[in-house]
A and B are shown apart, each in its own frame.
Chain A
Amino acid sequence: MFLDNDKISSKQLISLLVLDFFSTASLTLPKYAAKYGKEDAWIVVIGATVIACIYAILISRVASMFPKETFTRYTEKITNRLISVLLSGMFLIKFIIGAALELRVFGELVKQSMLHNTPIEIIMILMLLIAAYIARKGYEARGRIGGFLVFVAFIPLFIILAFATENVELSNLMPMFVGDPFEIGKGIYMLSFGFAGIELMFIATYYLDKPEKAMRATLKSVLIVGVLNLAVTIITIGTYGVESTTKYIWPLFSIMSVVKVPFLLIDRQDALMMSFWIITVFSLMSAYVFFSSLLVKEIFRFKEQNFTVLPLLPFIYFIALIPDNVVQTYDYINKINIYISPVTLVILPILLMIIAKIRKLGVGKNEKI
């Protein structure tokens, strides 16, 4: 049966990554871009995308040096068993915390804007269960679902964004090139961690049917989301101006409630936008849950991955309930981005690459696999 095959094509990988990146970054992105870049927010977004491309190159380069081995295996080869288990453990914890915080943001946003009386626990449990369900089915099922969901989520989004351009006032985006270079640099650095999902490529490359295409696929997805982010930022700031954009927690939703789509039965687009965003959250949650369970399997050398999914859920759920409120949740997310993401995105791949080169491990760039 194809479910046991567990290999995905690079097209499916792109769909999955696009959904994941968009889910984490796009919600708050215009806010931070405007905060650091002011009218030059677009420079911040472009810069962040370029930096994210570097992360993508580093990580997929390391992973594609060992196309036939899983993350735990090849780190064990490069270093030793203890360090490889520690690294896998670190990623496991990061994914679980990442999933938990993302789940909390999801719960807060849904409760705030749609289900005012529904307990946040129920909203979160439902999302967690459906993510776990698809994570249990293996990578191929996720790949197929990703290839399908990407159209469901993004085609309507493009249509709404196209109508949103009507409200853009050029004067809100002018004058250009007046931002403080230091602040812009800081913004680029901070926003590039919106693409922290790239670290999934450490593990995912093994599951590609053609691992040599990993780098290309990752770069493509980063660029697609980069362009999308740029459009979202320009439209949001163009409509609301820098001051208002920085005031909203989730500017993308606030902007959607002013968009008017002619001939559409629905008067307010924010609810519509919310449903597409939930699709991307689902994709991201299932990715985190799936890769966490995979790491558990690798660390303990289990034969199967699917039975390690359910035991992880309580951890994610309870960590999601730790922050007192949405402010603290974002505080935690930012702290992880500042202190841990640089390690996993830059330092780790460089170290692994150097050690592998010194010990002459892995396949070279142009060698046939």
Chain B
Amino acid sequence: MKKYRLLILCILTFDVAFLTGCWDKIEINDRSFIIGIGIDNEDGEFSITCTTPNISESKGGDSSKEAQNNYIKTSKDKTIASALHNMEANLDVNLDFGHTKVLVLGKSLIEDPNMLKDVVDYFDRNTIYSMRIKVMTTQMKAVDILQTKIEGKDSTGVYIAKIFKNHSDDILRFNTVDLGDLVFQLNASKGSALISKIMLEDKELKFGGGAVIKDYSLDGWLEEEELRSLGWLRGKAKRSEVNFKYNDITMPYCISNSQSKSNFELKDDTLYIDVEIKSEGNIPEYRLEEQSLFDDKVIKQLGEAVDKTIKEEVEKLNAKMQNEFQSDIAGYQDQLKISNRKIYLKTKDQWEEYFINAKINVNVKTSIRRIGVTE
């Protein structure tokens, strides 16, 4: 053993020098972490915007400084891969998409079915992108959204990602769509999906509403209230509020839990859908010196008033889906799959037609559980 000691020592020393890494080694200071990607359609070419936080600046915490906290690069080409390559080739660092959080699709892009297909395929095909990237669209250009400078915040991409992280169950405003969800929706429905919308109002970013995609292109926009109704229809309206009128006082009702169930019936080739929306919640606000709420009768009347408001809103959305979009955005067919196999198999091939002509009846049952600590 003693004989080999020197040899072993030599081998170990060489190991330190030669086994340090492999072809894929990139030092962290040679990487640029792309947090947000925006894609626009510019005359049939992909215009890609990438934002990356300036880590050495932003960690100082002094965002009021003149130094740039947020780098934005834009590149344009006929394909996404070559656009990104063009961008990278002119930078002193390597682009790293492993931490990408946000993908913004401009309006012009989702209007072109082929381009939307290209984008979704590209992000699905390449494993470097996480399937949990949040996808959103805007009525403006994606680049304008990502270029917005938010006061007190370092990077727009990080800012948007944080909103999603902290308010993910707030379906009221956010119809959260992950990249994986989007791919799944488009594949399963052969081109239909709902993407949440981000907008710029008075230099502030705001979420609300969404873009309805049909046949891989933009079909129309849903407003914020309509998205909330959609949440009720899907039984996923946690943390949503609805304002209703009772004795000419506008009051809020905060939903803590909601459920939705649909029953289907096929009579004379017409589809009858019975939707039952159950919710429970509390009343956090009323008017001082008005009649006491500590009365079972009043609570019941309040419940009925809420029922009416929700019912009206949901019916409005149903009518819009049937007449304007002619598409089952709320996912009635998914419920039908589970609850009634016979009707599903019968209507499967011409679902859209059955859906457009369906008679939808909405029943709402509200349970007000809490009214705060005052009468």
Chain A residues near B (Cβ < 8 Å): 112-119, 122, 169-172, 174-176, 178, 239-244, 247, 253-254, 257-258, 260, 267-268, 270
Contact = CB atoms under 8 A, between A and B. Distances in A.
B188 A244 contact: yes
Contact of A175 (B127, B178, B341): B341
B206 interface: no
A175 B336 CA distance: 9
Contacts, number: 65
> 5 closest A-B pairs (Cβ-Cβ)?
A171-B334, A243-B187, A117-B23, A175-B341, A118-B23
Interface in B187-230: 187-188
A260 B337 contact: no
B23 A115 contact: yes
A175 B338 CA distance: 7
Contacts of A112: 127
A32 to B, nearest CB: 17
Contacts of A122: 22-23
Contact of B187 (A171, A176, A241, A267): A241
Contacts of A247: 187
A174 B131 contact: no
Contacts of A176: 341
B338 A174 contact: yes
Given A114-B24, A115-B22, A171-B338, 7 more contacts: A174-B337, A174-B338, A241-B188, A244-B183, A258-B131, A258-B132, A258-B178
A169 B333 CA distance: 13
A115 to B, nearest CB: 5
Contacts of B130: 257, 267-268
Contact of B180 (A118, A243, A258): A258
A119 B22 CA distance: 10
A176 B338 CA distance: 9
A121 to B, nearest CB: 11
B24 A118 contact: yes
A39 to B, nearest CB: 9
Nearest to B181: A258
A260 B180 CA distance: 12
B188 A243 contact: yes
Contact of A244 (B187, B335, B341, B344): B187
Contacts of B22: 115, 118, 122
Nearest to A247: B187
B319 interface: no
Contact of A257 (B24, B132, B188, B345): B132
B358 to A, nearest CB: 18
B71 interface: no
Nearest to B342: A175
Nearest to A260: B132
Contacts of B127: 112-113, 253, 257, 270
B127 to A, nearest CB: 4
A254 B125 CA distance: 10
B345 A178 contact: yes
Contact of A171 (B23, B183, B335): B335
Contacts of A241: 184, 187-188
Contacts of B187: 240-241, 243-244, 247
B213 to A, nearest CB: 16
Given A175-B345, A244-B183, A257-B127, A115 B24 contact: yes
B291 to A, nearest CB: 45
12 contacts: A118-B22, A119-B23, A170-B338, A174-B337, A175-B337, A175-B345, A176-B341, A178-B345, A239-B184, A240-B187, A242-B188, A243-B187
